[in-house]
Amino acid sequence: MGSLSFKSAEDFYILGLWLADNYWRSSSVGLSSTNEILLERFRLFLRRACPDHPIKEHVYLPRQGEKRKLIAKNIYVNSRSLTRDLMNFKSNKDLKIPLKFIPAYLAGRIDGDGHLDKKHRTGIRIVYSEKYDASRDLNLLKKLDENPVSLYYYRQANVWVIYFRKHFLRRIMPEITRFSIKLRNL
């Protein structure tokens, strides 16, 4: 995929996080989030991937009457090559992730678009706006377990949701927790 190569668990965590909360415009690529820890973790990746490019930041303050109450930020770099490389991952129908790095990738997806239901203990779910994105992760998870998740489409919200099955979650949770900020802060 061009000059960008993922070789570590942290790299695959960043890929999952970016696929969940990506920001891109023509030759700019970055991350959108309200979570400072996630933004800083992505900033470290940008420094490694593009050491000669300045990292830029755009802050979005909540407006009066808006549902969102938190400050959101985009951190990004202007880099055609990094944008091209990450967009290749985004558009690729089949992610080639080594089995040992799938938990790190999942942790990134969970930290970006995941939800942990602590109140009812129903587990973890990840929300997707595109069917191909959810299907691609479903196929990836099937490399770890025959029946790891359920996939649902909610027409009114126009989203796809993966729900982790309890047997799979019990087995993989310790590995995911090593990388996930959300899970470590439970």
Nearest of 74, 95, 80, 69 to residue 26 by alpha carbon: 80
- Confirm if 117 and 123 have CB atoms less than 8 A apart: yes
Average pLDDT of the segment spanning 8-20 = 95
> What's the CATH class of domain 9-91?
alpha beta
Query: What are phi and psi for residue 127, nearest 5 degrees?
Result: -100, 135
Average pLDDT, the chain: 90
Reported as a single tens digit per residue, the pLDDT across 70-80 is 888 999 999 99
Q: Exposed/middle/buried for 34, CB within 10 Å: 0-12, 13-18, 19+?
A: middle
CB 55 within 8 Å of CB 29 = no
Q: Which residue has the tokens 């190569």?
A: 5
> Are residues 71 and 60 in contact, defined by beta-carbon separation less than 8 angstroms?
yes
Reported pTM = 0.90
Q: Which CATH superfamily is domain 99-184 in?
A: Homing endonucleases (3.10.28.10)
User: What pLDDT is stored for residue 184 in this prediction?
Assistant: 84
The top-scoring range by mean pLDDT among 26-30, 134-138, 182-186 is: 134-138
Domain residue extents for the chain: 9-91, 99-184
pLDDT at 99 over 80: yes
3-state secondary structure of 54: coil
